[in-house]
Amino acid sequence: MEPLREFGRTLFFLGSLLMIVGAILYFNAKLPFRLGKLPGDIVHRGEHTTFYFPIVTCLVLSLALSLLFWLFSHFRR
C-alpha cells in the first residue's frame, strides 16, 4: 500500500477514535454509567484531603481499548 494512503487511513481511524471519545465525554451525564464514578473506584476523604483512585474505571477502559486494538489488528491482516 502506498505510504501516503496508509498515513491517510491512520489519520482517519485516529480522528474517528477521537470523535467517539469526545462523544462519550460530552454525553457522559446522560449515560447509564458514569466513567470515573463506577462501583469499586477508591475514594478516601480525610479531614483536609481527598484521595481518589479510579481502579475499576481504569480496568474497564483498559479492557475496551485492548478489545478495540485486537479487532483493529485482526481486520488489518
Those residues with Cβ within 8 angstroms of residue 36's Cβ, 6 or more apart along the chain or in another chain: 54, 57
pLDDT given at position 33: 66
pLDDT at 75 over 80: no
Can you tell me the distance from the alpha carbon of 50 to that of 28, in angstroms, rounded to the nearest whole number?
23
Q: pTM score, two decimals? A: 0.56
More confident residue, 29 or 5: 5
